[in-house]
């Protein structure tokens, strides 16, 4: 029995040491909100002793995605090759960042397991990365606001969109998320910050169809974010932190436009610290 175990370990060590492409696949989060971009990081190392040029037909990278019950998920971009154009020098390490949503439809709530495969005409076999897993889940709706989108002319039909503030569990804690969408499109999904039990988040839209969100992050710290839909995509346009001043910070229209009352702008290093993670 011991000889068999030693033999299997030796086989494993030979297989690892003979790898000419090393790969480490990582996911930033354990849970993702539906329609949220899923960014993966793939670290590649060239142990082949040769420069590998990944042209259109010389080499490729593909992914294998499976659901919790083992069902394979088909790619929606079969011709895509994230490695195309890469010149990979011997001994070099490259880090690729990939939005896997562009390659697979992962909108359905489920658990997904994924690994990456790299092959090249000069290499003896296909190399496979470690497998990672993550879950795509829905969130609990806290606030919603429907608004009209600006048109190019005074005669165009006005389309409506909806801003939804959600409570979502990221695998460790509950957090605030914002999703901007209509019946046909999701313009953007954003993580805002940790959910605070008992606090009252605020959501509103101004005359330019910009979305304003005010949420409490800590006992004396609030996040104020402004999002705008630019060329069909929602983007964070402004982010500020506030601390209470003579009351509870409030998103108000009293003066005719949206502003924060009962608060002052927080000072970095004094009222809060930026978390690099």
Give the model confidence (pLDDT) of 43-54 as tens digits: 999 999 999 999
Nearest to 167 by CA among 135, 200, 145: 200
**Do 194 and 218 belong together in one domain?**
yes
Q: Convert the pLDDT of each residue in 2-27 to its tens digit.
A: 444 333 333 333 333 357 999 999 99
Instruction: Centre a 10 Å sphere on the Cβ of residue 56 and count the other Cβ atoms it contains.
Output: 9
Arithmetic mean of pLDDT over the chain: 90
The 10s digit of each residue's pLDDT in 122-174 is 999 999 999 999 999 999 999 999 999 888 888 888 899 999 999 999 999 99
Contacts of 92 (CB under 8 A, 6+ apart): 45, 46
Q: Which of 136, 157, 180 is the last residue of a domain?
A: 136
d(CA 149, CA 162): 10
128 & 216 share domain? no
Is the Cα torsion angle 22, 28, 33, 37 positive or negative in sign?
negative
Instruction: Tell me the residue length of the chain.
Output: 277
273, part of any domain? no
Query: Are residues 73 and 170 both part of a single domain?
Result: no
Over residues 46-64, the mean pLDDT reads 92
Residue 245 is assigned to a structural domain of this protein: yes
pLDDT of residue 109: 96
Residue 28 belongs to what domain range? 19-136
Residue 275 banded pLDDT, cuts 50, 70, 90? low
Q: What is the pLDDT of residue 152?
A: 81
Residue where one domain finishes, among candidates 136, 161, 190: 136
End-of-domain residue from the set 105, 136, 167: 136
Residue 10 forms part of a structural domain: no
Distance CA 26, CA 274 (A): 23
Model confidence at 255, in pLDDT bands (50, 70, 90)? low
> What is the total count of domains within the chain?
2
Output the pLDDT for position 117. Answer: 95
Per-residue pLDDT of 170-228, as tens digits, reads 999 999 999 999 999 999 999 999 999 999 999 999 999 999 999 999 999 999 999 99
Q: Are strands 263-265 and 110-120 parallel, antiparallel or unpaired?
A: unpaired
Q: Are residues 99 and 168 in the same domain?
A: no
């Amino acid at each position: 029995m011991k000889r068999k175990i030693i033999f299997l370990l030796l086989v494993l060590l030979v297989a690892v040491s003979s790898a000419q492409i090393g790969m480490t696949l990582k996911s930033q989060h354990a849970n993702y909100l539906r329609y949220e971009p899923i960014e993966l990081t793939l670290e590649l190392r060239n142990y082949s002793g040769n420069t590998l040029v990944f042209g259109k037909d010389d080499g490729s990278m593909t992914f294998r995605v499976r659901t919790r019950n083992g069902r394979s998920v088909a790619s929606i971009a079969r011709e895509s090759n994230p490695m195309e154009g890469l010149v990979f020098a011997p001994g070099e390490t490259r880090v690729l960042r990939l939005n896997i949503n562009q390659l697979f439809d992962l909108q359905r709530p489920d658990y997904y397991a994924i690994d990456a495969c790299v092959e090249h005409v000069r290499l003896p076999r296909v190399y496979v990365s470690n497998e990672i897993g993550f879950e795509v889940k829905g969130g609990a709706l806290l606030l919603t606001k429907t608004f009209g989108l600006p048109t190019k002319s005074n005669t165009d039909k006005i389309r409506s969109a909806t801003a939804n503030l959600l409570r979502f569990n990221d695998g460790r804690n509950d957090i605030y998320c914002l999703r901007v969408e209509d019946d046909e499109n999701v313009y953007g999904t954003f993580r805002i910050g940790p959910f605070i039990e008992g606090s009252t988040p605020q959501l509103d839209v101004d005359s330019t169809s910009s979305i304003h969100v005010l949420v409490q992050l800590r006992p004396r710290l609030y996040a104020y974010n402004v999002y705008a839909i630019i060329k069909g995509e929602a983007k964070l346009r402004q982010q500020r932190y506030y601390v209470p001043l003579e009351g509870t910070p409030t998103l108000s229209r009293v003066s005719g436009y949206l502003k924060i009352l009962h608060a002052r702008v927080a000072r970095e290093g004094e009222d809060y610290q930026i978390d690099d993670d």
